[in-house]
A and B are shown apart, each in its own frame.
Chain A
Amino acid sequence: MDAVLEVRDISKSFGPNRVLRGVSFGVARGAIYGLMGANGAGKSTLIKILCGAEGPDGGQILLGGREVNFPDPIAAHRLGVGTVHQNPNDGVVLDMTVAENLALDTLTDGSSPLRFSRRRTERHAVAVADTLGLRLTRQVLRAPVRELGVSERQLLVLARALSRRPDILILDEPTSALSAQETSRLFELVRSLVADGMTVLFVTHKLAEFDQLCDHVGVLRDGAMTGEFHRAHGRLFDWPAALKALFDRTPAELNHDELPGGREVLALRGVRLFADTAPFDLQLRDGQVTVLLGLLGSGKTELLEWAFGARPIAAGERELDGARFAPRHPGDAVRAGVYLLPESRHEQAIIPGWPVYSQMTLPFLKRFSTGTLMRTLSERRAARVMMDDIGVVARDPSSPIQTLSGGNQQKVVIGRWLLGSPRVLLLDEPFRGVDINARHDIGTTVRTLTRSAAVLVATSDLDEALEVGDRIVVLNHGEVVADLPRSAASRAAVIEAMSARPSALLDPDPEPDPEQTAAAEPTAAAQRGGPGDGG
């Protein structure tokens, strides 16, 4: 293969954490190479290395057969690697005008004269926009980027990246902020760039996008490539095989009896997660673990946070033990015995620097106080008992949380809710960033809990789902597409349900002229103007 970009045995560790363990792949000239991987698989680290933001610990990067190294992102630019990052706001200066943003490279590289000239800047800007086929009116050029929508910002960032004439373009989840229409426009553009000889490394979570764009897909899991897939022209990828490469870890030896489930505890009716999705009902029973399985963006977190009163959704009714349940704040849900373990431990659950015991007692301070005064001794005693119960490895309840390993931190924030009296326990990605042993412990704890509570575990990992669940509900693009007892949930059936794409994305594009639409849209958007447009 005539690889224009080749990565050989790249490895990278952060402290004891081996994020990349020898990743190798090659991209042929003029190809669009798709890269997929679950959260924490090492995708973002790999991209940081390829764009020069991080240095690898070992391995080589070859461009056109020659080994290179990128001490910083500018070196990567010079060698012809352009990167468009996930968040377009990282690539634009919000308070500068469109023209200034487009011409930013000439303004900062020292080549332009000292005196700032608007006319010269705008001339540069038009030249840069030209690389994308954008035709901008003076009004747009002089509008601050803040007034543009996210997709227009993304186009600006892309135009700037392209104006440096890169040989290789890295697109890191470029569509996460785009509408379906904007996405197809972007894809047209990428195809035309590739036709002109550019090579693209394309990262996304959305399977349909690989089908639309890529010839090759590489799957990254636990810091290593676990599979590469090619497709014949006009055919789709072998998704079941790719998803198997994405999920299948060491086969879980755990095989538990399927619990039948008891009383219906939480009933969700007429749930419409997003404005454009169909309503569904979902009942949770105690006495069993229900797993909500879905890829990123399927609406798992939205559903859990809504049930907990922490976020509104398009529509839906909640019932707890047969009575109407309408928490307006998480505090209401906590009082009713509905608890949520949020998706991001560090951002949403842990108070930095606090000891284990106060992390645990935070939702139930009233129980550990006399009048308003805290009884720290009884807090520590309760935390000690809970630590023994669920197997938290820490020196003592007063150890600061950051001295614990990820798995033990996770046990602490789960143990927090076990101090209460759970009726419904909603666990969002409880196994994320958790090693295999802690994962086993947490699974056991969760299964024990079903004696008193309805347990819902949201995950994007099929193995985790089969390991912990008795009933598997598959969520795909905001809708329930399968609801199976574990015994009926064959790997193939579940993967099929997870990877089914909604029809809108499956249809081939109605072939819009890329240049025309790309030029028309930002103009129209900026003329609509308005602060509401800025997001």
Chain B
Amino acid sequence: MAAEVAVGERTAFSGTDFVVRYGVVLVGVLVAIVFSFVIPGFATLDNAVSILQTQAVAAVAALGMTLTAVVGDLDLSVGAVAGLSVTVAAVVMIRQALTGPSAIVACLLAGAVVGCFNAGLIVLLNVPPLLATLGTMFTIQGLKRFLVDGQTLITGMTLPNGTKVSGRFTDDFTAIDGNQVFGIPISVYLFLVIAVLVWLFLERTRYGRVFYAVGGNAEAARLAGARVRRYQFAAYAISGVLAAVAGIILASRLRQGDVTAGDSALLDAVAMTLVGYAVLGAKKPNALGTVVGAIFLGLILQGLTQLGLPYYTQDLIKGLVLIFALLMSFSLRRSRRRAGAR
């Protein structure tokens, strides 16, 4: 078993090692099997697609968050940025009556601007990442309310100044989450493509290698010649853009400018990213883990919902899953002698 080879000294089977490596996957498979027996229609392709579609928004945001977690810390503004995307899309299409593609461009730009703002706070102004993105989160939540005067933008509504909005979510925009290709929604393809790209980037490109080096030991990376600050900047900027993509999918699903949209995506994304730490004993943020985390969370929520669990218990379940993941990756550590403990 690879984990034991890695340590070299211990070759005996260790139950803890096994749980650390395969715990999340095992629990996930177990949950899926149980639900398949208990819930009629659970083990169907449609249901699987439905799980992926439900999780697509938070998962795309979580993939961006994973990038920032690799170089430093979680980007806590992803939910707010996704929400900002929804608002921007609504403003562009409903209030300004512009086209779907222009809404998409506006959303991506907004995400990139917020991402660069985060990166600037963290890299140029040395604010600790968690605090910087927390500050950005609150600011963006306020900003999106400000943009729409605190109201939800709906097609055909009357604005406070008396004018009636003329635009609506265009068909090409709503197609993102509404239309299917070979029975699978476009949003699911989008999620999977982004997942593969992020995985390739982190695991197979030299940039990904440097990302992990910066996260593992920034000073060592710098002294090996890496421009550490540029990589940190890039991570937060990309995270902003991916959060905007998540928001575009969400807007396409909601078809209105809901001011609270996206806020709940933060919890989901944090849970997915941290479950990802525990997948295959990685103990570090990784794209595959985040995707597994998204599916894991989706399985549990979908199953429990179909068993009649009320929607308002969802956050409770997510919180418990998150704590389970944390225990898996942080508490069940092999007691390894620290190197250089003098």
Q: Does B316 contact A (CB under 8 A)?
A: no
Q: Does B219 contact A (CB under 8 A)?
A: yes
Nearest residue (CB) in A for B200 is: A373
Complex-state Cα separation, A363 to B337, whole angstroms: 29
Q: Does A365 contact B (CB under 8 A)?
A: yes
> Which of A83-91, A341-349, A499-507 is the contact stretch?
A341-349
Q: Does B12 contact A (CB under 8 A)?
A: no
Whether A365 contacts B223 by the Cβ 8 Å rule is: no
Whether B220 contacts A351 by the Cβ 8 Å rule is: yes
Interface residues of B in 49-90 (CB under 8 A from A): none
Whether B210 contacts A342 by the Cβ 8 Å rule is: no
Chain B residues whose C-beta falls within 8 Å of the C-beta of A19 in the assembled complex? 342
Q: Does B207 contact A (CB under 8 A)?
A: yes
> Which of A149-157, A272-280, A332-340, A475-483 is the contact stretch?
A332-340
Whether A40 contacts B342 by the Cβ 8 Å rule is: yes
Whether A350 contacts B220 by the Cβ 8 Å rule is: yes
- Cβ contact of B341, chosen from A14, A40, A351, A365, cutoff 8 A: A14
Whether B206 contacts A365 by the Cβ 8 Å rule is: yes
Chain A residues whose C-beta falls within 8 Å of the C-beta of B227 in the assembled complex? 329, 331
Whether A352 contacts B216 by the Cβ 8 Å rule is: yes
Interface residues of A in 179-214 (CB under 8 A from B): none
Nearest residue (CB) in B for A334 is: B225
Complex-state Cα separation, A166 to B207, whole angstroms: 56
Chain B residues whose C-beta falls within 8 Å of the C-beta of A310 in the assembled complex? 222-223
Q: How many chain B residues have a CB neighbour from A under 8 Å?
A: 31
Interface residues of A in 151-175 (CB under 8 A from B): none
Using known A-B contacts A349-B220, A351-B221, determine if residue A358 contacts B209 with beta carbons closer than 8 Å. yes
Complex-state Cα separation, A175 to B341, whole angstroms: 25
Complex-state Cα separation, A406 to B6, whole angstroms: 17
Whether A346 contacts B221 by the Cβ 8 Å rule is: no
Chain A contact patch, size range: 35 or more
Complex-state Cα separation, A374 to B212, whole angstroms: 14
Q: Does B125 contact A (CB under 8 A)?
A: no
- Cβ contact of A340, chosen from B6, B216, B223, B341, cutoff 8 A: B223
The minimal Cβ–Cβ distance linking A402 to chain B, given in whole angstroms, is: 5
Q: Does B166 contact A (CB under 8 A)?
A: no
* Contact mask for chain A residues 341-375; partner B; CB cutoff 8 A; 1 contact, 0 none: 01000111111111000100011011011001110
Whether A347 contacts B209 by the Cβ 8 Å rule is: no
- Cβ contact of A351, chosen from B204, B207, B212, B283, cutoff 8 A: B212
Q: Does A433 contact B (CB under 8 A)?
A: yes
Chain A residues whose C-beta falls within 8 Å of the C-beta of B180 in the assembled complex? none
The minimal Cβ–Cβ distance linking B236 to chain A, given in whole angstroms, is: 20
Chain A residues whose C-beta falls within 8 Å of the C-beta of B221 in the assembled complex? 351, 362
- Cβ contact of B224, chosen from A334, A400, A402, cutoff 8 A: A334
Q: Does A299 contact B (CB under 8 A)?
A: no
Interface residues of B in 192-249 (CB under 8 A from A): 200, 204-207, 209-210, 212-213, 216-217, 219-227
Chain A residues whose C-beta falls within 8 Å of the C-beta of B207 in the assembled complex? 372
- Cβ contact of A363, chosen from B212, B225, B283, B342, cutoff 8 A: B225
Complex-state Cα separation, A375 to B7, whole angstroms: 25
Q: Does B339 contact A (CB under 8 A)?
A: yes
Q: Does A330 contact B (CB under 8 A)?
A: yes
Q: Does A15 contact B (CB under 8 A)?
A: yes
The minimal Cβ–Cβ distance linking A42 to chain B, given in whole angstroms, is: 8
- Cβ contact of B342, chosen from A17, A348, A351, A395, cutoff 8 A: A17
Interface residues of A in 280-332 (CB under 8 A from B): 308, 310, 329-331
- Cβ contact of B6, chosen from A347, A352, A368, A400, cutoff 8 A: A400
Q: Does A97 contact B (CB under 8 A)?
A: no
Chain B residues whose C-beta falls within 8 Å of the C-beta of A406 in the assembled complex? 340
Q: Does A416 contact B (CB under 8 A)?
A: yes
Nearest residue (CB) in A for B214 is: A351
Whether B341 contacts A349 by the Cβ 8 Å rule is: no
Complex-state Cα separation, A403 to B213, whole angstroms: 19
Chain A residues whose C-beta falls within 8 Å of the C-beta of B284 in the assembled complex? 353
Whether B209 contacts A365 by the Cβ 8 Å rule is: yes
Q: Does B8 contact A (CB under 8 A)?
A: yes
Complex-state Cα separation, A400 to B220, whole angstroms: 16
Whether A45 contacts B225 by the Cβ 8 Å rule is: no
Whether B225 contacts A330 by the Cβ 8 Å rule is: yes
Chain A residues whose C-beta falls within 8 Å of the C-beta of B342 in the assembled complex? 14, 17, 19, 40, 44-45
The minimal Cβ–Cβ distance linking A203 to chain B, given in whole angstroms, is: 16
Chain B residues whose C-beta falls within 8 Å of the C-beta of A14 in the assembled complex? 341-342
Nearest residue (CB) in A for B205 is: A372
Chain B residues whose C-beta falls within 8 Å of the C-beta of A369 in the assembled complex? 205-206
Whether B225 contacts A403 by the Cβ 8 Å rule is: no
Complex-state Cα separation, A282 to B82, whole angstroms: 57
- Cβ contact of A374, chosen from B205, B339, B341, cutoff 8 A: B205
The minimal Cβ–Cβ distance linking B203 to chain A, given in whole angstroms, is: 9
Q: A330-B225, A373-B205 are in contact. List 18 more A-B contacts (CB 8 A).
A: A17-B342, A310-B223, A342-B220, A347-B217, A349-B223, A350-B217, A351-B216, A352-B216, A354-B212, A358-B209, A362-B210, A362-B226, A366-B206, A368-B206, A374-B209, A400-B6, A402-B339, A403-B6
- 12 A-B interface contacts by CB (under 8 A): A335-B225, A354-B212, A362-B221, A363-B224, A365-B209, A366-B206, A372-B207, A373-B204, A374-B205, A374-B209, A399-B6, A402-B336
* Interface set of A (CB-CB < 8 Å, partner B): 14-15, 17, 19, 40, 44-45, 308, 310, 329-331, 333-335, 340, 342, 346-354, 358, 362-363, 365-366, 368-369, 372-374, 395, 399-400, 402-403, 406, 416, 433
Question: 10 nearest interchain CB pairs?
Answer: A334-B225, A365-B206, A351-B216, A331-B225, A372-B205, A363-B224, A362-B224, A369-B206, A403-B8, A363-B225
